[in-house]
Amino acid sequence: MVVMSHDEFSALADRLRSAAAAYYAGDGTQLMDDATYDAGISELRTMAAEHGWTDADDLLTQVAGGQGSVGRDGAGSDTDGVPHEVPMLSLDNAMDDDELQAFFDRVAHKTGVPTDDLAWVVEPKFDGMALSVRYHDGKIARIVTRGNGLVGETVGHVARHVSGIPAELPGEASVTVVGECVMTHEDFAEANRMRLEHGERPFANPRNAVAGSLRAKNRDYRVPMTFIAYGAHAPAPDPTAYTTDPMPERYSMTISRLHNLGFTTAADVVGNQPVARGSAGAMAQIARIEELRQTFSMDTDGAVIKADNPHIRDAMGEGSRSPRWAIARKFAPDTRETDLLDIEVAVGRTGNLSFTAKVAPVSVGGATISSVTVHNVSEIARKGLRLPGPDGTAQRVVVRRAGEVIPEIVGVADVSPGEDKTVPFVPPSLCPNGHALDTTGVIWSCVLGRDCTVSAGIRYAVSRDCLDIEGMGTQITDALVGSGIVNDVADLFGLRVTDLLTVPRLGESNATKIMSQIDKARTLPLARILTALGIKGTGRSMSRRIARHFGTMGAIRAATANQMAEVEGIGPIKAPSIVEEIAELAPVLDRLEEMGIGSARNMDAAPPSSVEGAVSESPVAGADTAPSALPLAGKSVCVTGAMSGALAGMSRNDVNELIESLGGRAASSVSAKTDLLLTDDPESGTGKAKKARELGVEIVSPDEFARRYMGGVS
């Protein structure tokens, strides 16, 4: 049993309030990991029940995963709020199977129904923000955040921008639907892309991104979000008025009805699961969800178990904080505390400095993490990161895998008061190669730019996404740069076999193969040559947009900052630096032009090698083909998921280049202007496929795409 004094109880409550306030009301910083927070809440509940202490009632009433506006003390704010017709309660947590079995036994004892006869609905516990959507006469009347469970904030301005919320219900239905607003992994990536394009700092994590985006009313852009419904009730005071065909009583039937009305539900994410019979059946479904969570398109941190039978729910009733007929079984957290050991500084191909935190190896979300990107000096300072002191005492930090893929440090762990023996991180005064730094921007860089790290720039230029010169690995490029034979991209196209033979242990046969790859790269279109140049602020996708917008290298070189800003995704902030760097590359561009590199008729990209023959047989044709004659001319195509069939093995970039070589426009998200969604899973009920169906966008599989636009390749 937990034993603590009242002062210790109050101190723990204050720490948990601070953690909740920082996470939900701030910028997404975590002062403690999920497991520590959950354990702290459990301790508070135990001691509050034991001694009747009420200091933490506000904290224990709120729910971590669905909290709305948070005040200084971490509790939901009720200032100028909207009262909920029915309180939006939180859920008690079961941290292991023993606690879960104790819950099943309590329900069986209270209701008199044998444990094995109880029916349960098991759903993923989504990591987002709870909303209440009120319909009146079939139309949305208001959307309100959970807030403190009794009062929330109105956020009706987002109604048209959240997938999974039908704009209207059939007939004159009046009903309140509750659910979780989340960001899928694709939503989160798109949201951060939009943030960066508008000169704003990226979101820290999907849950925080949802909270901030729901409240944002004055943005000139809207980020994608998804609503997952998990309940409904009639508006007070007349429970018979909400529909002529009331929602069924069983919870499973209610969810089915919501799905039929056009709401996204848990079944759309995890697939249909039968109602579980008994504790064994429920635990089996929990295990299935935990096994599948890596494949879900959004973050989940547990499973929710709810009694299906309304008579069981009535018999169990509800407490002041949570229903007694439902519980959340938490999974192993995707955030963990560990020691920050060092921050390493490196200089990249364009001269930009990168900062990497080395941490004590820790398992997060199924992977062992030891290195984490910390972006820049401003981010290091904002998160208060410090290095180990002389005695080796290290700072405790919270590490998370964003989207269960990319590791990040989300903040400094909340530690017990005491002497801080760590030392500040001192930003470098010179680049790692000893040259002066330009520190005027958020991203620090070497004043020599790409000349500081020629080898890194050449390695990037010959990579698959750029010139795709197979066989020219790190040892060869470093040797050519070290000997002074290659100093820029143009030098690559001036290489001879005799130059390659100067590389130690490189034979004539391999040198000849590399030369054939270089000759092949000479015919690449403008977009790929631009990518190889490694212009700051661009990449493969942006290079395609620039090439499509201007058409020729001459037009790109002559473009003003205002003209460059007209390119999709660039804008007035990034344009001047891109124009400036193109001007700095003039000598290299002159030599490329003399060799005819990048002067081929630009169809945005050359067909990827894996489908080269297929495209040549289709109506794409070659340099003289008019864009309007291409099979995808004028069409906007969005790609999602891994490819199979005719496009198996192709990356997202490969497919986007293929689309543009066929005359289409590769879109990053689904909108009303999208003509096609290309996906390996056309029947998916979530993410872009779900949104495409809602908007009436045609969905095609890779094989259908090949048959229709690539001459029936298989």
Quick check: 402 pLDDT over 60? no
DSSP 640-704: ES---GGGTT--HHHHHHHHHHTT-EEESS--TT--EEEES-TT--SHHHHHHHHHT-EEE-HHH
pLDDT for res 33: 63
pLDDT for res 610: 42
Average pLDDT over residues 589-593: 87
Bridge partners (DSSP) of residue 680 are: none
Tokens representing 633 are 């001319």
Average pLDDT over residues 286-299: 82
CATH architecture label of 335-424: Beta Barrel (2.40)
Planar angle of CA 576, 581, 583, nearest 5 degrees: 95
pLDDT band of 366, cuts 50, 70, 90? low
Quick check: 232 pLDDT over 50? yes
Q: Please give the model's pTM, rounded to 2 decimal places.
A: 0.51
Q: Which fold has domain 93-330?
A: D-amino Acid Aminotransferase; Chain A, domain 1 (3.30.470)
Quick check: 151 pLDDT over 90? no
**Active-site residue, selected from the candidate residues 110, 125, 217, 306:** 125
Quick check: 58 pLDDT over 60? yes
Average pLDDT over residues 407-430: 81
Quick check: 65 pLDDT over 80? no
Nearest Cα to 69, choosing from 225, 218, 212? Answer: 212
End-to-end CA distance of the chain: 65
pLDDT for res 325: 94
Domain coordinates of the chain in residue numbers? 6-61, 93-330, 335-424, 450-594, 616-709
Average pLDDT over residues 546-574: 84
Does the annotation mark 673 as catalytic?
no
Q: Which helix (H) or strand (E) holds 708?
A: helix 702-709
pLDDT for res 63: 41
pLDDT for res 650: 78
Q: Which fold has domain 6-61?
A: Helix Hairpins (1.10.287)
> DSSP H helical segments within 585-634, as ranges?
586-594, 612-617
CATH number among 3.40.50.10190, 3.10.20.30, 3.40.50.2300, 3.30.70.580, domain 616-709? 3.40.50.10190
pLDDT for res 355: 92
- Mean pLDDT over each residue of the chain, to the nearest integer: 79
pLDDT for res 64: 38
pLDDT winner (highest mean) among 195-209, 491-505, 658-672: 491-505
Least confident of 79-93, 367-381, 392-406: 392-406
Planar angle of CA 91, 96, 98, nearest 5 degrees: 105
CATH number among 3.40.50.300, 3.40.50.150, 3.40.800.10, 1.10.150.20, domain 450-594? 1.10.150.20
Q: How far apart are CA 540 and CA 533, in angstroms?
A: 11
pLDDT for res 102: 93
Quick check: 692 pLDDT over 90? no
The residue whose two tokens read 């390749």 is 713
pLDDT tens-place string over residues 136-146 = 888 888 899 88
pLDDT tens-place string over residues 6-21 = 777 788 888 777 777 6
pLDDT for res 21: 67
Average pLDDT over residues 82-111: 88
